[in-house]
């Protein structure tokens, strides 16, 4: 399966998308924060990123979901800064500060990173925390394609993505992998820099599903196209987990692939009631909610074991 962005490059549409994305940066509405600053001229909004893409690190990554990792790893590019700024972020230093260690890359340099990851044998290019740097990613693609890039692109975001920006990525991104963190806007307002996270995430994930559909893998189980949703179960938030999972099954796709994650731990500036690790009981309850929806779960073997222990299977 050929990555979808190659056709857009050859028919000239990719160039149009790049120009439209640059226009969004002039009075920035790239993400739902709508800061309306001229990032190209050096003015900074919530994310603190201007005309160059800040990259914290990159390389083959073996800790991602199995359909992305395969045998050679996911070619992960970690962008610094963020448009959501969760207070509990496990990468707090990277996301909340445009750290001095970050390399601020030109389009040509970012393109070279993508091609380098391909040359290392990675199965995909995994763009981590990309929502605030979509124009930078688009601008790097023509040079990367000219130098042979042909891997699927993974858009690995918080879910706080503007539909208008996602429309620029239609036919560019092969695999979307958003988080869906909170069901209520009020919860997001407490734990992030956004007061409208939940509604934005619902619209964004539905848009992603419309663009790429359910997950498609090759004969080796490697993802080629489609949607994967991550949900990190958090302390005292299991009710919202249940609502999120029902939404995904009913309003996105009954075949939606979901990774229900249990690795929450208090990081950054996490405060009550999330200043403690997730309990085993809370995670088991979230998995029970998932079982009731019949969603496709990337951790389904563990799910089966836990449900048997609970006497449900």
Domain boundaries, the chain: 5-229
Residue 115: how many CA atoms within 13 Å on its side-chain side? 16
Q: Which residue bears the tokens 């500060």? A: 97
List, for residues 169-191, the tens digit of each pLDDT value.
999 999 999 999 999 999 999 99
- The whole-number pLDDT of residue 54 equals 95
Question: Given a cut of 60, is residue 309 above it in pLDDT?
Answer: no
| Domain covering 5-229 assigned CATH 3.20.20 in the classification | yes
Burial grade of 267 (CB within 10 A; 0-12, 13-18, 19 or more): middle
**pLDDT interval class at 1 (50, 70, 90):** confident
3-class secondary-structure state, position 60: strand
Contact assessment for residue 120 and residue 170, using Cβ atoms and an 8 Å cutoff? no
Report phi then psi at 158, rounded to 5: -75, -10
Residue 280: how many other CB atoms lie within 10 Å: 11
Report phi then psi at 218, rounded to 5: -85, -170
- The whole-number pLDDT of residue 101 equals 67
Contact assessment for residue 147 and residue 111, using Cβ atoms and an 8 Å cutoff? yes
List, for residues 64-75, the tens digit of each pLDDT value.
999 999 999 999
Residue 209: how many other CB atoms lie within 10 Å: 19
Spatial separation of the C-alpha atoms in residues 193 and 211, rounded to whole Å:
27
Residue 294 carries which DSSP code?
A: T
Report phi then psi at 20, rounded to 5: -65, -40
**pLDDT interval class at 98 (50, 70, 90):** low
Is the model more confident about 307 or about 31? 31
List, for residues 215-235, the tens digit of each pLDDT value.
999 999 999 999 999 999 999
Question: Given a cut of 80, is residue 302 above it in pLDDT?
Answer: no
**pLDDT interval class at 99 (50, 70, 90):** low
Contact assessment for residue 292 and residue 248, using Cβ atoms and an 8 Å cutoff? no
Polymer length in residues for the chain: 313
- The whole-number pLDDT of residue 299 equals 66
Instruction: Give helix 13-26 / helix 134-146 axis angle, nearest 10°.
Output: 150
Query: In which region does residue 46 sit, left (phi positive, over 0), alpha (psi from -120 to 50) or beta (all else)?
Result: alpha
Per the prediction, the chain carries an average pLDDT of 92
Q: Quick one: tokens of 123?
A: 């199965």
Of all residues in the chain, what percent carry a pLDDT higher than 90?
86
Give pTM, 2 decimals.
0.93
Per-residue H/E/C for 134-192: HHHHHHHHHHHHHCCCCCCEEEECCCCCCHHHHHHCCCCCCEECCECCCCCHHHHHHHC
Residue 214 carries which DSSP code?
A: B
Distance of CA 156 to the CA centre of its chain: 2
Question: Given a cut of 70, is residue 307 above it in pLDDT?
Answer: no
Question: Given a cut of 80, is residue 292 above it in pLDDT?
Answer: yes
Question: Given a cut of 90, is residue 119 above it in pLDDT?
Answer: yes
Nearest to 227 by CA among 246, 209, 207, 253: 209
In 3-state terms the chain splits into helix, strand, coil percentages (rounded to 5) of 40, 15, 45
């Amino acid at each position: 399966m050929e990555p979808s962005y190659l056709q857009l490059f050859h028919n000239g549409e990719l160039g149009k998308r790049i120009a439209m994305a640059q226009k969004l940066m002039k009075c920035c509405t790239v993400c739902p924060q709508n800061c309306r600053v001229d990032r190209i001229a050096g003015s900074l909004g919530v994310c603190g990123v201007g005309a160059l893409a800040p990259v914290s690190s990159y390389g083959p990554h073996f800790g991602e979901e199995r359909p992305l990792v395969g045998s050679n790893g996911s070619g992960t590019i970690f962008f610094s800064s963020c448009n959501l700024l969760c207070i509990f972020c496990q990468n707090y230093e990277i996301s909340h500060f445009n750290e001095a260690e970050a390399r601020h890359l030109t389009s040509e340099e970012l393109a070279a990173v993508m091609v380098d990851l391909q040359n290392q044998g990675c199965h995909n290019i995994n763009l981590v925390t990309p929502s605030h740097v979509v124009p930078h990613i688009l601008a790097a693609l023509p040079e990367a394609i000219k130098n042979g890039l042909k891997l699927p692109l993974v858009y690995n975001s918080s879910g706080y993505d503007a539909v208008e920006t996602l429309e620029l990525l239609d036919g560019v991104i092969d695999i979307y992998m958003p988080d869906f963190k909170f069901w209520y806007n009020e919860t997001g307002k407490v734990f992030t820099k956004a007061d409208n996270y939940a509604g934005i995430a619902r619209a964004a994930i539905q848009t992603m599903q419309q663009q790429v559909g359910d997950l498609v893998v090759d004969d080796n189980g490697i993802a080629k196209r489609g949607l994967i949703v991550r949900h990190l179960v958090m302390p005292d938030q299991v009710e919202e987990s249940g609502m999120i999972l029902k939404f995904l099954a009913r309003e996105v796709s009954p075949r939606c692939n979901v990774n229900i994650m249990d690795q929450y731990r208090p990081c950054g500036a996490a405060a009550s009631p999330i200043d403690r690790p997730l309990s085993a009981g809370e995670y088991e309850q979230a998995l029970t909610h998932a079982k009731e929806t019949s969603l496709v779960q990337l951790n389904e073997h563990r799910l089966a074991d836990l449900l048997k222990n609970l006497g449900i299977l």
